[in-house]
């Protein structure tokens, strides 16, 4: 589960030795993970449960996602205790609604791409690149780009720029990692920067299992160091 959700307040590891080539995710699964802050899953997943705890075992955040047989999400439930945030999203026949927590609404096309999204932050239109991956989130009122996702050769973004919050997040992935969940990232807002390292163990099917995250206020990880752990369990069709 994505740790940067906890310190961004917005809308998360050891590389596998079992895989010799990168695992290819369904774009719809990756896009939902980007939008709603959870780790993507591979295979015929029916239900994904993820959570983050601190070093004393206290629950900090939890997300569970339900999918149909095509890999499109049907329900997403999230609770973040640190930021006092919660939402429960339902995707029914291409219409997004929420029944508890933060109000969320929108539209989903036949490729399971969220094309319109409305929450407490505003009303947005979403665009995707030629690979079907999330590229831009655009404010429908002003027409300005709110967030932009940049990729290189893989399926995971190497940079996310949030123009509303004025943050610039860059991601660095170790070579040979089959999932790119192992990573190091830096989040810059104004003159302040937070560094994060994440390392995961993997299940036999390639899905992430237990992860550890270390955050700090300096690149040497000596200032204001914090350690958390996340876990990922799934039920398949």
Domain boundaries, given as residue ranges, for the chain: 4-12+14-236
pLDDT of the residue at 77: 95
CB 198 within 8 A of CB 6: no
CB 4 within 8 A of CB 169: yes
What contacts 26, CB < 8 A, 6 or more positions away? 71
Instruction: Determine the Cα–Cα distance for residues 14 and 200; give it in Å rounded to an integer.
Output: 5
Instruction: Determine the Cα–Cα distance for residues 205 and 79; give it in Å rounded to an integer.
Output: 27
- Chunked mean pLDDT (size 10), the chain, 237 residues: 41 31 80 88 91 91 94 94 89 95 95 96 96 96 96 88 91 67 80 87 84 90 89 90
pLDDT of the residue at 136: 97
What contacts 236, CB < 8 A, 6 or more positions away? 43, 44, 45, 46
pLDDT of the residue at 180: 61
pTM value? 0.81
Instruction: Determine the Cα–Cα distance for residues 65 and 76; give it in Å rounded to an integer.
Output: 5
CB atoms within 10 A of CB 141: 9
For residue 17, the 8-state DSSP code is S
Q: What tokens appear for 41 in the block?
A: 């899953």
Residue range 4-12+14-236 forms a domain whose CATH class is mainly beta
Beta bridge partners of 198: 183, 213
CB 1 within 8 A of CB 226: no
């Amino acid at each position: 589960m994505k740790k940067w959700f906890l310190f961004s307040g917005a809308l998360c590891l050891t590389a596998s030795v079992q895989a010799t080539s990168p695992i290819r995710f369904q774009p719809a699964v990756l896009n939902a993970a980007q939008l709603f802050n959870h780790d993507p899953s591979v295979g015929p997943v029916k239900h994904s449960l993820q959570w983050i705890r601190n070093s004393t075992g206290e629950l900090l955040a939890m997300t569970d996602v339900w999918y149909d047989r095509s890999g499109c999400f049907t329900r997403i439930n999230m609770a973040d205790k640190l930021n006092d945030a919660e939402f429960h999203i339902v995707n029914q026949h291409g219409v997004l609604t929420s029944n508890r927590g933060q109000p969320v609404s929108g539209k989903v096309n036949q490729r399971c791409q969220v094309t319109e999204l409305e929450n407490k932050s505003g009303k947005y239109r979403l665009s995707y690149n030629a690979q079907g991956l999330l590229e831009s989130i655009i404010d429908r009122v002003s027409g300005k780009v709110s967030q932009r996702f940049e990729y290189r050769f893989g399926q995971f973004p190497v940079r996310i720029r949030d123009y509303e919050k004025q943050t610039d997040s860059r991601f660095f992935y170790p070579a040979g990692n089959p999932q790119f969940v192992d990573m190091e990232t830096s989040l810059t807002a104004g003159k302040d920067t937070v560094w994060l390292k994440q390392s995961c163990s993997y299940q036999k099917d390639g899905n992430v299992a237990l992860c550890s995250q270390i955050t700090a206020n300096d690149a040497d990880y000596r200032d204001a160091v914090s350690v958390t752990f996340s876990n990922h369990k799934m039920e398949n069709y």
